Amino acid sequence: MANRFGDLESALHALGARIAVPPAPSITPAVVSHLEAERLRRRRPPFPGVALWSRRRALLVAAFAVLAVLALAAAARFTIGAVQIRIQPTPSATSSTPPPFDLSVLGPPRSPSEAVTSLPFATALPAGPRPDAAYIVEGPTGQRSVAFAWLPSTTYPRIEGTPWGLIVLEIPGDDELVLKTVNAFEDMVTTVVDGRPAAWIPAPHELQLRTRVGSQTFSVAGNVLIWERGGVTYRIETALGFDAAAALAGSIRG
């Protein structure tokens, strides 16, 4: 064949280097997040024929078991960093619904770059478009946190009841700044983000924000993913589903 098609083969080899191929997209975070979430959902080893439960996985499962027992023992409370999640049925149909979570209660919006420089901790952002605004939150002890917000777009569809397409709240330390109340155990799914325990809340729920000037309660209609890494608690609010939220979470880097 080399004799019959020698030049044609050479020309094809050269052609391979000349074809315009778009830059390879960064698919690694999406693959890893998908696998981490799926691993927890399946609750069985991915390789049934090979019983290879690593020490790390065994510890993770044990940690979840302990967390589950503690959550039940503490009257159905679950804490991730600075966020406490309480499971409590809605009191009655006559109770009033709190207003939607409105970032403007935190003060005037700032430019994200200005906000980042004024904070005492290293913030991190998901891959993709830059945020359109940032709000500084002062906790009860004066600890400063930040909420980054993105306007609705094709990438981030509008979150019901808000003018935003994506909200990322970053809280340093473990002072409880946020208390979430969901109606039932089924409204919250424990999962894993970046190898750390996380909570996915795909149902409407209440959010109590504890700031320096007091507590305010809001209703949240968007899907929420919460996890903690390196002493910072992250909370993503989005209209996107779990896979997309997990991929966003996995892409968050400083």
Partner 1 sequence: MEGRPLEDVDLIERARDGDVRAYGDLVERYREIAFRTAYLITRSAADAEDAAQEAFVKAYYALGRFRTQSPFRPWILRIVANEARNRVRSARRREGLALRLAEGRLSGDAAPSPEAAALDRERSEALLAGLAKLSEPDRQIITCRYLLDLSEAETADTLGLRTGTVKSRLSRALGRLRDVLPETLAATEVNDG
- Binding residues (CB under 8 A) for partner 1: these are 1, 3-9, 11-22, 24-32, 34-36, 39, 45-50, 52-54, 56-57, 195
Rounded to a whole number of angstroms, the minimum distance from the CB of residue 63 to partner 1 is: 14
Nearest to 233 by CA among 147, 133, 131: 147
- Which SS3 state, helix, strand or coil, does residue 173 take? coil
Kindly tell me which of 16 and 108 has the beta carbon lying closer to partner 1.
16
Q: Residue 26 is encoded by which pair of tokens?
A: 């960064």
Dihedral pair phi/psi, residue 61, rounded to 5°: -65, -45
CA distances from 199 to 143, 173, 242 (A): 23, 18, 11
CA distance 43 to 60: 12
Closer residue to partner 1, CB minimum distance, 39 or 110: 39
- Please identify, using beta-carbon distances, which residue of 193 and 226 lies nearer to partner 1: 193
CB of 104 to partner 1, least distance (A): 37
Nearer to partner 1, 39 or 158 (CB): 39
Nearer to partner 1, 24 or 213 (CB): 24
Q: Is the dihedral of CA 187, 215, 115, 219 positive or negative?
A: positive
Q: How far is the CB of 152 from partner 1 (least distance, A)?
A: 22
Minimum gap (Å) between residue 35 Cβ and partner 1: 5
CA distance 128 to 155: 9
Contacts of 112 (CB under 8 A, 6+ apart): 130, 131, 132, 133, 134, 148
For residue 130, the minimal CB distance to partner 1 (Å) is 22
